[in-house]
Chains A and B, each alone.
Chain A
């Protein structure tokens, strides 16, 4: 819900086919192709109970909402 100033959304993982596009503190999974991108994202979504969002066609992020 809105209004709170506390940290509510957390990036749990990043899955990408484009390794150069992502760097930094998050857990990054580099996958070879689109099919593997969908598969890994699917698994991570269920495991982490965070929602998968498409940042661009190459990159997915798993976000924990509130």
Chain B
């Protein structure tokens, strides 16, 4: 094969790889990666990843086997991306009023690493298609197809896939705070009880099956619910107000989750919607239903 074919195949591969990263880089309500510099970092890394992926196949075809070894360097590089993200997010987490929690952070860090590999993979396959068929448009077509698939791959499950979220009645019995029949916490000060009854929104998260029951019992998953709700709806909380804390507790018998949110606007329907869309954390998922 001519050198020129490789050149075009590599260029198409890099381009498709980069577009894949661009497509998977989506800043939503979480605003992470941060705009603009956080995003530039990841686009730059995505470009490097796609370049690595794109030249892997031509290198093989040129019988340049040693060139493949630097894919291992790439793997090391992107593992560092994960470490970098974990460290940054853990540090930032200490400055949050409602923390993300370690599980959520690990999930985000993992996604960043995984997406870079996905970019390598897309770029490699695109180049491969172009080189094998010796037609640039086959490469482009493969690339567009992979681009479409990567859109499906990137999105995981959300809470409403595994649980029903509904409103619950907050009530106080002596110093104890309940949402429906689930005990939440002991609040000593009458003033705080009043604020919580006024500002709080109570929710019940009901798992649909036994796997979901275990998954939503995970403390990291529960913290993610509280964190995401606090981002989307604001939080009635400050330093020096230890009693005003969004919290979630399990009903041990049924596995249901009682959730107290302290949003700035007491819109129950919005709270239900927001909590329903909380991502199910990869590290929290368990499948005990495998043994019926």
Contact = CB atoms under 8 A, between A and B. Distances in A.
Interface of A: 1-2, 38, 41-42, 45-46, 49-54, 60-61, 65
Contacts of A54: 174-175, 186-188
B189 interface: yes
Summarize B's interface: helix, strand, loop or mixed: loop
B240 A60 contact: no
Nearest to A47: B240
Interface in B6-53: none
B189 A49 contact: no
A51 B189 CA distance: 9
Interface of B: 101, 174-175, 186-192, 219, 223, 239-243, 245
A41 B240 contact: no
B242 A50 contact: yes
11 contacts: A1-B101, A42-B189, A45-B242, A45-B243, A49-B239, A49-B240, A49-B242, A51-B242, A52-B187, A52-B188, A54-B175
A53 B175 contact: yes
Contacts of A61: 188
A60 B174 CA distance: 13
A42 B192 CA distance: 9
B241 to A, nearest CB: 8
Nearest to B174: A54
Given A46-B240, A49-B242, A2 B187 contact: no
A53 B190 contact: no
A63 to B, nearest CB: 9
A53 B242 contact: no
A61 B187 CA distance: 10
Contact of B191 (A38, A49, A50): A38
Listed residue (B190, B219, B245) with the most chain A CB atoms within 10 angstroms of its CB: B190
B189 A41 contact: yes
Contacts of A46: 240-241
B189 A38 contact: yes
B219 A1 contact: yes
B188 A60 contact: yes
B42 to A, nearest CB: 29
Contacts of B219: 1-2
Contacts of A53: 175, 186-188
A47 to B, nearest CB: 8
A62 to B, nearest CB: 8
A2 B250 CA distance: 14
B175 A51 contact: no
Nearest to A42: B189
Contacts of B241: 46
